[in-house]
Amino acid sequence: MTVNIVEPGTMYGERSNQVGLRLAKILNAGGARTTASFDIYNLFNADAILTQSNAFASWQRPQSILNPRWAKIVLQVDF
């Protein structure tokens, strides 16, 4: 049985902040357009809690956190 300790909707966790960065360059050569980009998500590697349990047995235990820092390299060619 789930028992609410605090009235639902009256207590909130911390605000989450995430910074992403994209560096891109457009190149035109021989009638083709090439876009090269480098993306970094969660640049400062924040670990904010997104959801937490409010049940009595597991009071404020994190259920999900912000995804870790990761990067992606993209090469797109339009012709």
Task: Tell whether 11 is covered by a domain.
Answer: no
Q: Report whether pLDDT(28) > 90.
A: yes
The predicted structure's pLDDT at residue 15:
83
> Where in the sequence is the domain holding 57, given as residue range(s)?
21-78
Range 30-37 average pLDDT: 94
pTM equals 0.66
User: Which of 20-24, 54-58, 59-63 has maximum average pLDDT?
Assistant: 20-24
Q: Do the domain assignments include residue 10?
A: no
Are 23 and 37 in contact by the 8 Å Cβ rule? The answer is yes
Residue 71 lies in a domain: yes
3 lies in a domain?
Answer: no
In a domain, 40, yes or no: yes
pLDDT at 20 over 90: yes
pLDDT at 37: 97
Confidence (pLDDT) at 10: 85
4 in a domain, yes or no? no
> Domains in the chain: how many in total?
1
45 domain residue, yes or no: yes
